[in-house]
Amino acid sequence: MSLFQNILIIAVLIAGAGFLSLTEIALAGARKVKLKILAESGDERAQKVLDLQQNSADFFAASQIGLNAVAILGGILGEGAFRPYFFEFVSRFYVGPWAETISFALSFTLVTSLFILFADLMPKRMAMIAPEKIAVAVINPIQVFIVICKPLAWFINAVANLLFRLFKVNTTREDNITFDDISAVMDAGAQAGVLQKQEHHFIENVFELEERNVPSSMTPRENVVFFTLKEPEESIRQKLAEYPYSKFLVCNETIDQVIGYVDAKDILVRILNNQKINQLNESTIRTVLSIPDTLTLSELLDRFRSSKEKFAVVFNEYALVVGVITLSDIMITVMGDWVTPMDEEQQIIKRDNNSWLIDGSTPIEDMKHALEIDEMPDEENYETLAGFMMYQLRKIPKPADTVIFGGYKFEVVDVDHFKIDQLLVTRLLERPELPTSEENPSS
């Protein structure tokens, strides 16, 4: 054959190998979620791709048969086609025993380079750009190719399956989507600009509902405003005016003797009807939803949904009230400042780029978001920033006590009756890996 004919045959072989390489990567990399969307929109080819991914043994066997056959044939033809011309070229500069070897090496290098570039590298990179689009486009011709290679592919698959069973290799493809997978997709969407920063934050918070416990979002015991059965009318009016809450606990004498709760709207109706408001009875007191402090926020949402309630009192293992929580508290956890009342005192105040004033009762998850910290040490042992300080210091903190962790210095600024009111958090230039603590010498 002439040089032109050899070049033409090699070009056809390279095109065929390139098509198989393109198809192999596209069908393997096509994402099921996108393919299902295309299939549901009426594209039958997308469903064929899904079916092929489900039973891919015949395709990969046929693909490897084609790729190896083309590569071997291309090598044989290419070496025979180009070696004489390279030998003639080499002979102009060198005549000796190594001339044939040099010609063979140059011919082999040329053919191999052409196959690597046009039959392997470029097709695979193209397939990675839009795998679903390419997979749908090539599915019909590749199914014809699979039918042609079916007999030999069946034999190869039989041998492969026998070896897999012999070595107990599981060949079932796992398509389970984990939280890490979803998180990675969200991060990629945020980096690409598909998700705005605030939207990304909302979605992360929704998934955190499964991990965050009720105490991280509740109103703690010391901040709970409640009425007693014998509460004077003037006291009730004063609390209604001072605390703009929609619901108030009703207790017998102490907060741990919970009877139920009253809705501020019901008391307002009594005031408008000129009725006494200090006579709390069955008509005004409602049954309160009681929950343990070990529930996650996701579990509490299910309780709210099943009970049709939006208000719950939280008990610990000793049957003591540790706080109250509402549906709005959960929404604030998800939405953050977007639903937080403007007049509510902020728990995290950014002083400058490297320092923050943070309330001791701030949930750890909120602080991690503000400071961009991925993980705190032994998080299961505390819920708030104050709990973190107590856990690290192993004592009731006093002003000027500090803990250094993750490149931040946590310093106690104000303590009120053993309660950490406020901390100053400062970003350090050097970021230590392990937490260290420094105690006030006066303590």
DSSP 284-330: T-BPPEEEETT-BHHHHHHHHHHHT-SEEEEE-TTS-EEEEEEHHHH
- Give the model confidence (pLDDT) of 390-428 as tens digits: 999 999 889 999 999 988 999 999 898 888 889 999 998
Residue 313 has, within 13 A of its CA and on its CB side, a CA count of 26
- Give the model confidence (pLDDT) of 296-316 as tens digits: 998 999 999 999 999 999 999
Q: Which CATH class for the 212-336 domain? A: alpha beta
Distance CA 425, CA 357 (A): 6
Distance CA 250, CA 225 (A): 9
Q: What is the mean pLDDT of the chain?
A: 84
Question: Comparing C-alpha atoms, which of 330, 358, 351 is closest to residue 424?
Answer: 358
Q: How far is CA 394 from CA 17, 401, 438, in A?
A: 67, 11, 11
Residue 201 has pLDDT above 70, yes or no: no
Distance CA 338, CA 353 (A): 22
Going by pLDDT thresholds of 50, 70 and 90, the confidence category of residue 174 is low
Residue 258 has pLDDT above 50, yes or no: yes
289's enclosing H/E stretch is: strand 289-292
Distance CA 85, CA 33 (A): 52
| Average of per-residue pLDDT across 262-273 | 83
* Two tokens, residue 188: 């990629």
Q: How far is CA 218 from CA 119, 132, 244, in A?
A: 62, 46, 17
Phi, psi torsion values for 348, nearest 5 degrees: -125, 115
Distance CA 404, CA 423 (A): 13
The whole-number pLDDT of residue 357 equals 92
| Average of per-residue pLDDT across 93-115 | 86
The whole-number pLDDT of residue 76 equals 82
The whole-number pLDDT of residue 315 equals 94
What's the start-to-end Cα distance of the chain, in Å? 97
The whole-number pLDDT of residue 215 equals 87
| Average of per-residue pLDDT across 222-230 | 88
- Do 372 and 349 touch, CB atoms closer than 8 A? no
Report residue 417 CA to chain centroid gap. Answer: 40
Going by pLDDT thresholds of 50, 70 and 90, the confidence category of residue 344 is very low
Going by pLDDT thresholds of 50, 70 and 90, the confidence category of residue 342 is very low
- Do 262 and 231 touch, CB atoms closer than 8 A? no
Range with top average pLDDT, 134-138, 370-374, 435-439: 134-138
What percent of the chain lies above the pLDDT cut of 90? Answer: 26
Residue 324 has pLDDT above 70, yes or no: yes
Distance CA 385, CA 421 (A): 10
| Average of per-residue pLDDT across 9-37 | 90
Residue 170 has pLDDT above 90, yes or no: no
Residue 262 has pLDDT above 50, yes or no: yes
Please state whether 394 falls in left (phi above 0), alpha (psi between -120 and 50) or beta: left
* Two tokens, residue 95: 């005549």
| Average of per-residue pLDDT across 207-224 | 85
Distance CA 309, CA 399 (A): 41
For the beta sheet containing 247-251, the strands, ordered from the edge strand earlier in sequence to the opposite edge, are: 226-228, 247-251, 258-263
Residue 157 has pLDDT above 70, yes or no: yes
Residue 264 has pLDDT above 70, yes or no: yes
Residue 343 has pLDDT above 60, yes or no: no
CB burial of residue 223 (10 Å; 0-12, 13-18, 19+): exposed
Place of tokens 């019901």: 266
Fold held by 346-425: 3.30.465
C-alpha dihedral sign at 362, 397, 320, 211: positive
Spell out a b/e string for 7-29, using b for 16 or more CB atoms within 10 Å of the CB, else e: eebbeebbebbbbbbbbbbbbee
- Do 401 and 410 touch, CB atoms closer than 8 A? no
Strand, coil or helix: 354: coil
Residue 189 has pLDDT above 90, yes or no: no
